[in-house]
Amino acid sequence: MTKKYDAIIIGAGVIGSPIAYELSKMGYKTLTVDKLADAGEGSTAGSCAIVRAHYSTADGVAMAYEGFKYWLDWENYLDHVKDEKGLARYMNTGSLLLKSQGHDWKKVKRNYDEIGVKYEELTIEKIKEMVPVADLHEFWPVRRPEDPKFYDEPTKTLEGAIFCPEGGYVNDPTLSAHNIMRAAEAKGATFLFNAEVVDIRTKDGRTAGITLKDGTQFDAPIVVNVGGPHSFKINKMAPGVWEGCNIKTKSLRHEVMYCPSPEGYDYLNDGYHMSDGDVGCYVRPEVGNTFLIGSEDPACDPREWVDPDDFYAGKGGPGKDNVLTDAQWKAQCYRFGKRVPTLPVPNQPKGVVDLYDCSDDWIPVYDKSDLPGFYMAVGTSGNQYKNAPVVGRMMAELIDACEKGLDHDKEPFQYKFKYIDRSTDVGFFSRKRQINRNSSFSVNG
Amino acid sequence: MQIYVCVKHVPDSAAYIRIIDNRHIDENITFLLNPYDEHALTEAVRVRDMHPGSEVIAVCLGKEDAEKTIRSAMAMGADRGILILTETGHDSIETALILKTAIEEDGVPGLIFTGKESIDDQGMQTLFRLGALFDFPVVTNVARLEILAEKALADAEFSGGVVKTYEMSLPCVIGAGKGLNTPKYPTVRDVMRSRKSPVKTLLLPDLKIPPAQARMEVVELIPHLQKRQPVEISGTDSDIAQKIVQILKDEAKVI
Amino acid sequence: MIKHIGVIIEQDNGIMKAANLGMITMARQKHTILFALVMDGSAGALKEKLSSFGISTIIEIRLAEDFQDNPDVRAKAVAKAVEKFELSALFGLSTAMGKDLLPRIAAILDGSLVMDCFDVDLENNIAGTSRYSGKTLAKIKVRGPVPVFGIRPNAREPVQEQKSAGIIQFEAVSLDSKLLRVVKRGETGKDSKISLTEAEIIISGGRGMKNGENFNLLFECAQKLNAAVGSSRVAVDSGWVPYAMQVGQTGEKVSPKVYIACGISGSIQHFAGMKTSGMVIAINLDETAAIMSNCDYYAKADALKIIPEITKLLETS
């Protein structure tokens, strides 16, 4: 007999798990399925798990800042559940946003003021004190090392930085998803792994359930697509859903590098998360006293849209498969090596290649769909890890409201944040929206 | 003193190795400086800095793309580079002949460094052939090196924690092992500085390499399949331990 | 045509390594007569054993006392023996000692050499070895005089074949080496750590190790196995072991012949660092741990109990 649930969540990553958790808390009988072996093993595992508040839109800042509160109060959020693997730790390093031409930091500052984000403005002298290894010249514009101008000597100095003391990163993103899974299970949620969805079934014009690769069927009137880089494939399985999205998602290949900290500098313990638009990089500490160097997707870099299944299977060749490339290794490490001139850059690339589930405007789609009962939390574009617990709550409330009759497309659901005194118009994340021109069109969101 | 470091341009160990025509690999992957050569370079630079007036020259046999590896070597401190351009692969016998000819054409070696092996061919022999051609002593898997006025002392590591200290006349050939040092990786400034370091390109036919009397040729490459099918080992703790030891002995053949 | 094949017997402190017998078995092919080359003055003691594995003649190479340990002199002596006994190929073990000896011999003979062979076909002069850090197997055709084959220890199961070996003394006492001298032989000491990236066997511990002290169990076993000890990320994050021991995406990438995972769940990040290992053996109390379905052997058991048992077995054997 086919098992029945109130809601099925596809994807047990860091966004899917909290949706299951919140729906379970609201009394829904949920099943979360994932094609991998455990929670957070997909693109969540490749996330840098950075927790920062600077976004190019006020709604983006609000949601991120709300998220801080969850991370700072992790055990409470999990309702003190026990996880045999231990708990993920929030490393509250503080977050530095360098004022540069690479970021619209004035807009960020306005957004911070509007939302009430705690921050201070730092002078160059103060940054130098906090990050003694930094060279604070302006290196703008971001170039590739193949460009002879890459090596031009800088002449100007940066203006300063905005420091947000509550920012940081989560030490183990996979574990954080696992923690939320355990919390969800404690509320009655079920998780099923090694379970690949091949079909979304419908009945009488609404969602009826899913079919797995091995033929197993599960029924539920609600199915939520949280498939990460596979999200567009899952949307295409549900009749009319993909076609009904004005904003589409695709999977984008992205490399993150690990470079050892200069000798004598304890970046792991003394360092900050830093967003450095001037050299197109963001960094955070990683175990082994290394700099984790991500890219802010400068226009001069290639963008490789790939098929997620081929990518994870290691197909497609250099620059398309899941092996770091020498060219991008040098681009990211050398760029950041301008900021930290003593940074040693090994010859062999070391780091992570994973996929962003990227939307057309790098802003996620948290929405219902044209198929009744089918919802989606997709297009996270590499910038939603920090929001995961908030998204979990927001999606659960959105689903609940829609199932109770709200026409979210006509009358967008207003989500009231739990911690900060503000509501957000969930219509902002609509699949039907026009491309948001306020976006940074990068990982910065 | 002229210190030559023979470096090799090898596939990144993280790359997928795809076999084409049963004998070659698809070279459309990242190639980089052989990891053992990093130890060789770091040591060569250390020795140079202790002997004023010395220079470190990186020598590499390879396709045009191998200039990247010479650039890496120069960023790590080599003063200049020699690229011997070739379109085909060469076995260790030919490689040693070519390297010897190129080094001789360039100068007078006081010391020659290599990595103890390359991670692609894993032949472990080019340095010995080079030593024989020059009539220089050779020590491989060196974990400590001391250059004295007329001789060198080198600690070579063997399995089981055994170390032998060799005394060699100079010049000599040193095969760097992992224990020799921690490689000193370049900063962006090192990269910038070395961008202008000269690389001399030699064409193989110009070197007039004498034919070798022996040859080693890859006639077939076979991918090493990695399909794991888990088999359970059960029983009491001591049963399990016994079975594991048995597997290590009979199947894995590592003890 | 009958070929004379030389097999260089490797001894360790006067004891013949068992791996020699598998090597002799591999060298025993159609139309071959086997000559064992013994350099440590123990030909008499080995006669019976070598005879029972098909050795026809033992060449006892006598070196000057001062140069017993000198690989250059040993290589020269072997090269002389090749000439004297008209050997057409040489076999030796691809051990640390072999890596210091066989290339020297090949360089003197100016002949071919294939190291780390798991198979040798003397009729076609083709050797099987691995390339690209074990990711491919390669068949290598050797041409020219007197090829040398470095044989991977234990690549072939020893099989007996009774012969009655005679011993021939071969004086090589006049050989010396002006260039190279062994001045000291010693031990690096107990904590001579084998590098993770080079080890043939790695024993790795994860969450199931429970604390840092328990890693000593792995170290004790590793010493017996000549293995390196690694860890998963959690053991580093918990401060049990230093970062240098971490295997995985953010740590070392390793490909040993055998990887023994003790109490490691086997996350994708961990696999990124060890998936190219030859054989993976997982010991874990949790049957559902990801590693249990992505390994060659698994035991649902407590590694803290199994590993000391293995150590004990290795001590007694």
User: Which of C238, C250, C267 comes nearest A258 by C-beta?
Assistant: C250
Residue C251's pLDDT is 77
Q: Is B15 on the interface with A (CB under 8 A)?
A: yes
**Residue A260, helix vs strand vs coil:** strand
Hey, what CATH class is A95-165+254-353 in?
Answer: alpha beta
- Looking at chain B from residue 177 to 206, which residues have their Cβ under 8 Å from any Cβ of chain C? 178-179
| CA-to-CA separations, A348 to A324, A351, B11, B39, C83, in angstroms, rounded | 10, 10, 10, 13, 45
Which residue pairs, CB below 8 angstroms and at least 24 apart, start in A404-412? A408/A367, A408/A368, A409/A368
- Spell out the residues 6+ positions from residue A262 whose beta carbon is closer than 8 angstroms to its own: A133, A340, A342, A343, A344
Give the residues across from B165 on adjacent strands. Answer: B155, C184
Q: Which residues of C touch B159 (CB under 8 A)?
A: 95-96, 226
Q: Which residues of C touch B167 (CB under 8 A)?
A: 180-183
Helix axes B188-195, A326-339, angle to 10 degrees: 110
Per the CB < 8 Å rule, is A341 touching B189?
Answer: yes
- Looking at chain C from residue 41 to 100, which residues have their Cβ under 8 Å from any Cβ of chain B? 69, 72, 95-97, 99-100
Per the CB < 8 Å rule, is A86 touching C269?
Answer: no
Per the CB < 8 Å rule, is A171 touching C237?
Answer: yes
Residues C118 and B7: beta-carbon distance below 8 Å? no
Residue B137's pLDDT is 98
Structure tokens at A102: 């690479």
Q: Please report, for chain C, how many H helices and E strands are present, in that order.
A: 8, 18
Strand bridging mode B231-232 / C297-300 = parallel
**H or E element at residue C6:** strand C3-8
* Residue type at position A420: I
Hey, what CATH class is B2-207 in?
Answer: alpha beta
**Residue C136, helix vs strand vs coil:** strand
Q: How far apart are CA A95 and CA A275, in angstroms?
A: 8
Degrees, nearest 5: CA angle B202-B207-B208: 155
Minimal Cα distance from B192: which residue of A? A151
pLDDT exceeds 60 at position C130: yes
Per the CB < 8 Å rule, is B232 touching C145?
Answer: no
Per the CB < 8 Å rule, is B245 touching C310?
Answer: yes
Minimal Cα distance from A89: which residue of C? C237
Nearest CA of chain C to the CA of A407: how many Å?
Answer: 41
C188 pLDDT band (50/70/90 cuts)? low
| CA-to-CA separations, C311 to B237, C225, C226, C227, C317, in angstroms, rounded | 13, 8, 12, 12, 10
Q: Taking the domains of chain B in order of start, what are their residue ranges? A: 2-207
Q: Which chains touch C (3 or more CB pairs under 8 A)?
A: A, B
Per the CB < 8 Å rule, is C250 touching A174?
Answer: no
Residues A18 and A41: beta-carbon distance below 8 Å? no
Residues of chain B where predicted confidence (pLDDT) is lower than 50: none
Structure tokens at A311: 């990518």
Superfamily of domain C201-316: TPP-binding domain (3.40.50.1220)
Q: Is B29 on the interface with C (CB under 8 A)?
A: no
Minimal Cα distance from A47: which residue of C? C269
Q: How far apart are CA B191 and CA C11, in angstroms?
A: 48
- Spell out the residues 6+ positions from residue A361 whose beta carbon is closer than 8 angstroms to its own: A247, A435, A436, A437, A439, A441
Give the residues across from C259 on adjacent strands. Answer: C202, C280
A159 pLDDT band (50/70/90 cuts)? very high
Tens of pLDDT, residue by residue over B135-150, are 999 999 999 999 999 9
Which residue, among A355, A382, A378, has the nearest Cα to A365 in the 3D structure? A378
- Looking at chain C from residue 15 to 44, which residues have their Cβ under 8 Å from any Cβ of chain B? none
User: Which of B29, B30, B186 comes nearest A345 by C-beta?
Assistant: B186
Length of chain A in terms of residues written: 445
Q: How far apart are CA A191 and CA A195, in angstroms?
A: 10
Q: Which residues of B touch A342 (CB under 8 A)?
A: 187
The H-assigned helical ranges of chain B are 35-50, 67-75, 92-106, 126-134, 188-195, 204-207, 237-246
Q: Which residues of C touch A258 (CB under 8 A)?
A: 250
Which residue, among C292, C189, A215, has the nearest Cα to B231 in the 3D structure? C292
Q: How far apart are CA B124 and CA B128, in angstroms?
A: 8
User: Which of B16, B68, B76 comes nearest A314 by C-beta?
Assistant: B16
Give the residues across from C230 on adjacent strands. Answer: C204
pLDDT exceeds 50 at position A205: yes
Task: Fold for A3-86+172-248+361-429, please state it.
Answer: FAD/NAD(P)-binding domain (3.50.50)
Q: Taking the domains of chain C in order of start, what are their residue ranges? A: 3-171, 201-316
The H-assigned helical ranges of B51-153 are 67-75, 92-106, 126-134
Average pLDDT over residues A3-13: 98
C230 or C153: which carries more pLDDT confidence? C230
C190 pLDDT band (50/70/90 cuts)? very low
Per the CB < 8 Å rule, is B185 touching A345?
Answer: yes
Q: Is B12 on the interface with A (CB under 8 A)?
A: yes
Residues A337 and A315: beta-carbon distance below 8 Å? no
Which residue, among C140, C124, A95, has the nearest Cα to B219 in the 3D structure? C140
Per the CB < 8 Å rule, is C106 touching B125?
Answer: yes
Q: What is the DSSP letter of A418?
A: S
Per the CB < 8 Å rule, is C136 touching B153?
Answer: no
Q: How far apart are CA A349 and CA A332, in angstroms?
A: 11
Specify whether the backbone of A243 is left (phi greater than 0), alpha (psi in -120 to 50) or beta.
Answer: alpha
Q: Which chains touch B (3 or more CB pairs under 8 A)?
A: A, C
Minimal Cα distance from B231: which residue of C? C297
Q: Taking the domains of chain A in order of start, what are their residue ranges? A: 3-86+172-248+361-429, 95-165+254-353
Residues C149 and C117: beta-carbon distance below 8 Å? yes
Q: Which residues of A touch C243 (CB under 8 A)?
A: 287-289
C interface test, pick of B224, B231, B234, B250 with most C CB neighbours within 10 Å:
B224
Residues B154 and C148: beta-carbon distance below 8 Å? no
Per the CB < 8 Å rule, is A344 touching B186?
Answer: yes
Give the residues across from C299 on adjacent strands. Answer: C283
Q: Please compute, for residue C288, the number of CA atoms within 13 A of its CA located in the half-sphere on the CB side.
A: 7
Q: Which residues of A touch C270 (CB under 8 A)?
A: none
Mean pLDDT in chain A? 95
Residue C186's pLDDT is 82
Residues B204 and B84: beta-carbon distance below 8 Å? yes
pLDDT exceeds 80 at position C76: yes
Q: Which residues of B touch C187 (CB under 8 A)?
A: 161-163
Q: What is the DSSP letter of A441?
A: S
- Do domains C3-171 and C201-316 share one topology? The answer is yes
Q: Is C95 on the interface with A (CB under 8 A)?
A: no
Q: How far apart are CA C59 and CA C81, in angstroms?
A: 8
Structure tokens at A331: 């681009």
> ipTM value of the model?
0.93
Residue C193's pLDDT is 63
Q: Is C103 on the interface with B (CB under 8 A)?
A: yes
DSSP strand E in A177-309: where?
190-192, 197-203, 206-212, 217-219, 222-225, 249-260, 273-276, 281-286, 290-295
Task: Fold for C3-171, please state it.
Answer: Rossmann fold (3.40.50)
